[in-house]
Amino acid sequence: MSEVRIAGLVSIIIPTYNNEKTIGETLVSCIEQTYEDIELIVVNDGSSDMTERVVLSYEDERMRYRSTKNHGVSHARNFGLEMSRGEFIQFLDADDLIDRSKLETQIRYLRNHERFDLVYCFTEYFKEDSEKIFYVNEHVFEGDVSHRMMRGNFLPIHAPLIRWCNLTFDEQLKNLEDWDYWIRFALSGRQFACIPEALCSVRVRKESKSSNYEKTLESYLTIAEKYDHISEYEFEISFVKFIRLAELGRVKSLFYLRKLHRKNPKGCVSNFFLMIYLWIKCYAKRILRFLRFR
């Protein structure tokens, strides 16, 4: 990965796998940026549909396209990082969108605030069968966000614009690889900032990876284990394990409830009732699922 960067250039990295229906709209949202000094890197992660034809139908000299075997989204993003030449990096999934002024707004902010390494924006969410916005992510956490990030990801992958750094995605992770990336970004001492404007949007798809909630919960536990050795974040990691184990209906959540109680006795009662609520919710879902498939 070259450390020689082209000043002012934004490398937009788009991994894609079977996104023939959505990637065209994603590419247009990049091509129409008011900030024009971009390179658009599309990495086709072994698609079996017409994704390649759709991508190549867009003729823009700023676009660089590569096709690889299917190794997963982390490998595709890392491949894009290897290709990148920009001073700034914009990650973007092939079914999401960025506002045409996003890069210009965030570039201006980073140039005026040298101490920040990442600036993110608010994010709108809409369902694929409707363009109606049903949720806006308006979380604001700035400066050193490592403790907050360890509790859970508050950043969609395309909300930030970052200054390039020699940091790659963990290709062993099959889910929540973006959360893991932002954890390591924060642990490195890099500073976060927020522009309180909705400048990007997420298309929520029925078949999206995050829709398989139980696997996502297991991934939370996997990543929490990865950082379990860092004593400074013991409380945050215990909190993640407590919540996710309770959502999975596992008795082991009691162990982490006790750990949290030792650190914060005042929150023990509320956490206990939260655990009971999550257990009931988990087993009610399982009962309904059982009855539905009888």
Confidence (pLDDT) at 178: 97
Confidence (pLDDT) at 291: 80
168 CB-contact burial (10 Å; exposed 0-12 / middle 13-18 / buried 19+): middle
Average pLDDT over residues 247-276: 91
Confidence (pLDDT) at 208: 52
57 neighbors 165 (Cβ within 8 angstroms): no
The domain segmentation of the chain, as residue ranges, is: 6-207, 212-292
> Which pLDDT tens digit goes with each residue over 208-223?
554 588 889 999 999 9
> Which pLDDT tens digit goes with each residue over 60-78?
999 999 999 999 999 999 9
Q: Under 8 Å CB-to-CB from 221, ≥6 apart: which residues?
A: 240, 241, 244, 245
Confidence (pLDDT) at 210: 46
pLDDT > 90: what percent of the chain?
A: 84
Does the domain made of 6-207 have the CATH classification 3.90.550.10? yes
pLDDT at 82 over 80: yes
Model confidence band, residue 1 (pLDDT cutoffs 50, 70, 90): low
**When comparing pLDDT for 58 and 208, which is higher?**
58
pLDDT at 177 over 50: yes
pLDDT at 255 over 80: yes
DSSP 3-state helix, strand, coil percentages of the chain (rounded to 5)? 45, 20, 35
**When comparing pLDDT for 125 and 132, which is higher?**
125
Average pLDDT, the chain: 93
Confidence (pLDDT) at 292: 75
CA distance 102 to 199: 5
Of how many residues is the chain composed?
Answer: 294
Confidence (pLDDT) at 293: 67
Average pLDDT over residues 6-29: 97
Confidence (pLDDT) at 207: 61
Confidence (pLDDT) at 294: 56
